[in-house]
């Protein structure tokens, strides 16, 4: 993944400039990011929540926060952060991506969510590419995602990154995007 480092920035790490000129920092999730992730997920529109969680979610449970912010040998997670010093909001999450390894240890299921007002700017592509790169580095054979067949945004993004799409023979409303990592 390519990004640009902002000279003179007090923001540690690499920032990425999106299609609309806004900048984000993408880094591995820390266990202290729970509140940032919770605010992101709870701030999603009903449509975005339904697409990410295949049915929507209201309040974020402690268990879900643990799952979303877990980075270990079976899970990888990345967070995209933005800053708004002018409004006093400071640093806040605008996207999260994660994967969990299947029991076979050869494949992983991934998911990406981007805040509604940050969609269609290229952030989802950056986050998904981070997951693909991490899965390759971990030596996995395949990365995949189970999605609603009506999720047009992920369809475009997944195909752009080389994912194949197959329909679920047991449920015509669902599709599976998969990418062979070798």
The confidence score (pLDDT) of residue 148 equals 84
Contact 14, 3 (CB under 8 A): yes
The DSSP bridge pattern shows strands 107-114 and 142-148 to be parallel
The confidence score (pLDDT) of residue 9 equals 47
First to last CA, the chain: 18
The confidence score (pLDDT) of residue 7 equals 39
Q: What's the count of helices (H) and strands (E) in the chain, helices before strands? A: 5, 8
Give the pLDDT of the chain (182 residues) as one tens digit per residue: 444 444 344 555 568 999 999 999 999 999 899 899 888 888 887 666 655 655 545 555 566 555 566 667 788 999 999 998 677 678 999 999 999 999 999 999 999 999 999 999 999 999 999 999 999 999 999 999 988 888 888 888 999 999 999 998 889 888 999 999 98
The confidence score (pLDDT) of residue 1 equals 42
Domains of the chain are 15-140 (3.40.630.30)
DSSP conformation letters of 7-31: TT--S-S-EEE-TTS-EEEEEE--G
At 15, list the tokens.
């920032």
Determine the distance from the C-alpha atom of residue 38 to the mean position of all C-alpha atoms in its chain, rounded to a whole number: 14
Contact 148, 173 (CB under 8 A): yes
The confidence score (pLDDT) of residue 5 equals 40
Q: Find residue 27's DSSP bridge partners.
A: 79
Q: Find residue 111's DSSP bridge partners.
A: 98
Global model pTM greater than 0.75 = yes
The confidence score (pLDDT) of residue 8 equals 40
The confidence score (pLDDT) of residue 13 equals 56
Distance CA 27, CA 64 (A): 20
């Amino acid at each position: 993944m390519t990004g640009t480092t902002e000279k003179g920035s007090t923001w540690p790490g690499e920032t990425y400039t999106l299609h609309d000129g806004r900048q984000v920092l993408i880094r591995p999730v820390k266990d202290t990011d729970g509140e940032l992730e919770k605010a992101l997920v709870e701030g999603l529109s009903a449509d975005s929540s339904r697409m990410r969680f295949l049915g929507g979610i209201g309040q974020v449970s402690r268990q879900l926060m643990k799952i979303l912010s877990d980075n270990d040998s079976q899970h990888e997670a990345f967070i995209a952060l933005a800053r708004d010093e002018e409004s006093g909001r400071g640093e806040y999450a605008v996207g999260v991506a994660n994967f969990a390894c299947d029991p076979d240890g050869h494949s992983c299921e991934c998911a990406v969510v981007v805040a509604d007002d940050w969609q269609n700017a290229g952030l989802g592509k950056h986050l998904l590419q981070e997951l693909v790169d991490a899965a390759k580095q971990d030596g996995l054979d395949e990365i995949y995602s189970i999605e609603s067949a009506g999720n047009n945004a992920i369809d475009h993004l997944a195909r752009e990154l080389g994912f194949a799409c197959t329909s679920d023979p047991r449920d015509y409303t669902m599709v599976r995007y998969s990418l062979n990592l070798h």
